[in-house]
Structure 1
Amino acid sequence: MFPNLIDRAKRRIPSLAILCLLALTACYPAFNWRELRLEGTPLQALLPCKAETAERTVPLGGASTLLHMHSCKAGGLTFALAWANAADAAAVPALLSDWQRASLAAIRVDPALSADPAYRWNATVAGASLAQGITARGTDPQGQPVQARAVYFARGAQVFQAAVYGASSDEVNTTFFDGLKLP
């Protein structure tokens, strides 16, 4: 009697293991929100995945500017945070405008449209002295359609960009953009 029960149990273990694995995968969230503090800045942000970091020098505001970048992918979306130091606070508006035009050009959207109200959204970032939101549909470097929603903001002489690339939901956008804080 017992050997028969043991044989049946042995046959069911692989099936039970597969069911447990499927149950665990179904419960794993696509967005695992975590707080990120950008070193060298007061910015606090929420990202749904572990960020990779990089730095590069780019032309912004008529000068070579060191850009610090953090990005990750989750749920088919790319989340990006970047920041730089402007030469001084007076240079911030021009630098943010250049950054917006460069971002639009990167997704093959006419950079002149950065001033078009149809591409703007009312962005706010707690603690920012200036915030400008922009949204656009373009084409990524691989020629695929891409949707971008970004906010460009500043505090003092530090400038920031936070962006979501891909068709994101209102819930994801709200969590990401409302999670930006400059205490």
Structure 2
Amino acid sequence: MSTRSRMGRATLVAAAAVFAACSPTFNWREVPVGDAGVIALLPCKPERATRDLPLGTESIPVEMAGCKAGGAIFAVAHARAQSAEQAELWLRAWHAATRSQLGDVPVVESPVVLARAASSPAPARLDTGGNDPAAGAAATHVLWFAHRRLDGGASVYQATVSGVPSSTDAVGTFFEGFHIP
């Protein structure tokens, strides 16, 4: 290998190291969620999926966007309800399903004030402090809210952070980063 080739390769390796060092762990970006104009702030480029979620006696299609950054998974799920009453039932069922998945892990639940979110069903938050992989418990933070659509229906959302992010303000940035029209 020529000296010039070695220098070129060394330069490329050095440049790659510099760019990697400049790459932030949390690269916050605005991501549209659903079709009602709600924007989420996610710390990385999300992957998207749609799946059916059993809620009570129904199975509903849920759109999801999520990614992993700084040691935690950040995700937003969205479903489109036909009415405020249906949204209320779905969020209650979603909340109950999440609680049952957590088992005996201690949780703290609290009401939330979220600008422009529907007041009924009221926004709510759930937090666990657990992060014991041996016990199968990871820290979990969940935010539920609804948004009334112009057509009379409501969109329901569940935002989740699973794990302990390497930045102490990441959960707050994620939950406070929702823009609701």
* Same fold, TM-score > 0.5, yes or no: yes
Per the alignment, residue 29 of structure 1 pairs with 24
Q: Which amino acid aligns with 2:143?
A: V
Per the alignment, residue 151 of structure 2 pairs with none
Per the alignment, residue 46 of structure 1 pairs with 41
TM-score by length of 1: 0.77
Per the alignment, residue 113 of structure 2 pairs with 124
Per the alignment, residue 57 of structure 1 pairs with 52
Cα distance, 1:98 vs structure 2: 1.3
User: Is 2:131 the partner of 1:136?
Assistant: no
Q: 5 Å matches for 1:7-26?
A: 17-26=12-21
Once the two structures are overlaid, the 10-residue window that deviates more, 14-23 or 164-173, is 14-23
Aligned equivalent of 1:166, options 153, 163, 168: 163
Per the alignment, residue 78 of structure 2 pairs with 83
Cα distance, 1:92 vs structure 2: 2.5
Specify whether residues 39 and 140 from structure 1 end up closer, same or farther in structure 2 by C-alpha distance, changes over 3 A only.
farther
Counterpart-to-counterpart distance in 1, 2:63 and 2:157 = 9
- Other structure's SS at 1:66 match: strand
Specify whether residues 84 and 25 from structure 1 end up closer, same or farther in structure 2 by C-alpha distance, changes over 3 A only.
same
Counterpart-to-counterpart distance in 2, 1:140 and 1:95 = 30
Superposed CA deviations along residues 26-69 of structure 1, whole A, max 9, x for unmatched, are: 21101111111124222111111111111112222432211111
Specify whether residues 124 and 63 from structure 1 end up closer, same or farther in structure 2 by C-alpha distance, changes over 3 A only.
same
Q: Which amino acid aligns with 1:152?
A: W
Cα distance, 1:71 vs structure 2: 1.0
Aligned equivalent of 1:109, options 73, 81, 103: 103
Specify whether residues 139 and 154 from structure 1 end up closer, same or farther in structure 2 by C-alpha distance, changes over 3 A only.
same
Counterpart-to-counterpart distance in 2, 1:174 and 1:89 = 27
Higher-Rg structure is 1
- Other structure's SS at 1:119 match: strand
Specify whether residues 51 and 149 from structure 1 end up closer, same or farther in structure 2 by C-alpha distance, changes over 3 A only.
same
Identical amino acids, percent of aligned pairs: 34
Per the alignment, residue 154 of structure 1 pairs with 146
RMSD of aligned alpha carbons: 3.0
For structure 2, the residue ranges without an aligned partner over 5 or more in a row are: 149-153
TM-score by length of 2: 0.78
Q: Is the helix fraction higher in 1 or 2?
A: 1
Aligned length: 171
